[in-house]
Amino acid sequence: MNRLRIRPSSAGPRRSVSPASTPPGPFASSLILLVGLAIACVTGCGGDEASQAPGRTAGWSHYGGDAGGSRHSPLDQITPENVDQLEVAWTYHTGDLLDGISYQPGNDDAAKSSHAATSFQNTPILIDRTLYTCTPFNRVIALDAETGEEEWTFDPKVSLDGMYLLNCRGVSAWTDSRARAGEACQTRIFTGTIDARLIALDARTGEPCPGFGRDGTVDLTEGVGDPKPGEYGVTSPPVVLGDRVITGAMVLDNRRVDAPSGVVRAYSARTGRRLWAWEALVPGQATSQRGRYERGTSNAWTALSADPDRNLVFVPTGNTSPDYFGGHRDGLDHYSSSIVALDGDTGEVVWHFQTVHHDIWDYDVAAQPVLFDFPSEQGAVPAVAAATKMGHLFVLDRLTGKPLLPVEERPVPGRAVPGEAPLSPTQPFPVKPPPLHPATLTPDDAFGFLPWDRSACRKRIEDARSEGIFTPPSTQGTIQYPGMVGGMNWGSLSVDAGRRLLVVNNQRVATYIRLVPRAEYDAMVEERGGAPAFGFEPQEGTPYALERYPLLSPYLGAPCNPPPWGTLTAIDLATGDVVWDVPLGNTRDLAPWPIWWLLGDLGVPNIGGPITTASGLTFIGATTDGYLRAFKTATGEELWRTRLPTSAHATPMTYRVDPAGKQYVVVAAGGHLLLGTTPGDTLIAYALPD
């Protein structure tokens, strides 16, 4: 949809703090806000006084709010009644910005990667009274939580060789129970880098912890198989369980059969010594004890979760390399596209649940598993929720992996390309909650704002295989629906246990995929004097390369599938029933005015997740339209929205550090190259007025 985007790119100053200000918004929203404030003041503005009264404090100590990723806060100062009074409390510009076209000063190595772009997808954590965030260049920054003033920065000086999309979604913290009070590195910030290092920093000073690894750093490339530049790194925060720090890694999709290993490793949080390694190997095949790992295995690139009470770590796995052909795997994808529960002491598999059998659709589990107590008739049952790119939500027993809400195997399309391994005749489908994404896209479903757009979309669907979800990739061309990014992606979901609701956002944009016979691909490479344009991927070691792109109309660039292209949904935790479902976002910044205004909240592409609060609010950015929104959790009613400098493809967080102080809602507005939104570098905090 880049053709519809008419917004110029811009960058703010490095490391600046600005005073409170009200961001621009639509005229109608501004008018409603002004009228609401006037009415409130006529009645004495008593709500403001009550909102600032001493009360509950709460932090956000983990990427997902807590070790289990619930993304829920017990805070209640900001309520459905006063949320429309929120205003900017402070802003911070990291200065680490690369727009994919021109380089912004700040990192000399970026000149080597002028086609790359940053995506500031970070969710900060709060330790004591300090926020810790990381930038797409992996700089770690500590900020005063109430003022946004910079306390320290650490620059690992990452290499950007081979990178095309730069991000760091979060950091993790650990306090050494054996250290003396005030001792250096008593509390540590752990960060993984896009060039595959695990670094431990002193939380007070930002200095590397000398006793961890070599001068504060562990080299994660050791034993994984000679990664090429940009092919292997860490984009999600490691998880801390006891005195262990555990991490997977991103392995670049669709490059080659012998891609770097997807091994998950645990290290001593004190020394950096490797404690165990888990490889997604065929059951019974021994895990390497010599530090050499099997290439091409399923990786874990998104956030892991931990259950400290039960000493379990929950690993959401990706695909066996490459994604769209598996004729060579020979059972190596036994653990792909799964939730795997590992023993925290040994790394041994306790159980696993596979969401896709023999995945050849890039339907890896992108969302952090979320731990909660399932309210059964017999009482609370420890549970884990897995949100998937298919729009499927699986609710599993945390101790056994058995479904707590019904799942059934259903027949799916067959007929794979020559050379592919036998496909599974069935795939697991949740009965409750029902799938949140449509499962079919037919020519009659084709959408277009204009008749010729719709006609072109219809023909594209007619010319390809489109037999519903799990239609296999083909040399003819296949419509992949849900598409390659979901469904639900790494933003995951939020659980409001008090209201017994699970809230999740969902994207609906189809993908066109075609397996390109090797001879045809090689001829393209020879003719062009190099690799084909963006949209083609080599899948070296297989009989086919890959052509893949979002299925958009050729004129206006809108999705060929009908809207809504994005939704926000609440699910009853006990029954799995849909409580409410609303479109998420409008086409502002995708379509010119007044078209986007006339269309209203049609629902747009989105990446990034929601959070919920005890007062009954759901906050979410995620959308391509550049808004942060607040919804009433019980009903799905939108109560507030504000314009951001660019789209926030990051999950917000919230905290209150002082009983007499303010509750803050913080979000990173950083854009996303693949969604066509402008890269940004702004961290913004909102609070109620004094």
Which residues are designated catalytic?
Answer: 362
Tokens standing for 84? 């429309």
Q: Which residues are 546's β-sheet partners?
A: 515, 537
- Cα–Cα distances (Å) from 303 to 49, 132, 237, 261, 618, in that order, read 39, 17, 6, 18, 21
Residues 551/457, Cβ–Cβ less than 8 Å:
yes
State whether the Cα torsion 622-623-625-630 is positive or negative: negative
Residue type, 113: S
How would you classify the pairing of strands 638-643 and 627-632?
antiparallel
Residues 653/169, Cβ–Cβ less than 8 Å:
no
Residues 540/559, Cβ–Cβ less than 8 Å:
no
Residue type, 34: L
Q: Which residue from 572, 376, 551 is spatially nearest to 465, judged by alpha carbons?
A: 551
- Residue for token pair 């029933």: 577
Q: 46 CB contacts (<8 Å, ≥6 apart)? A: none
Give the chain's radius of gyration (CA, Å): 24
Q: Which residue from 298, 293, 291 is spatially nearest to 267, judged by alpha carbons?
A: 291
Q: 332 CB contacts (<8 Å, ≥6 apart)? A: 280, 281, 282, 294, 296, 297, 298, 320
Residue type, 406: P
Q: In this structure, what are the phi and psi dihedrals at residue 33, rounded to the nearest 5 degrees?
A: -60, -45
Residue type, 644: L
Q: Kindly state the helix (H) or strand (E) to which residue 268 belongs, with its residue range.
A: strand 264-268
Residues 592/556, Cβ–Cβ less than 8 Å:
no
What's the rounded Cα separation, in Å, for the pair 72 and 59? Answer: 11
What's the rounded Cα separation, in Å, for the pair 577 and 566? Answer: 19
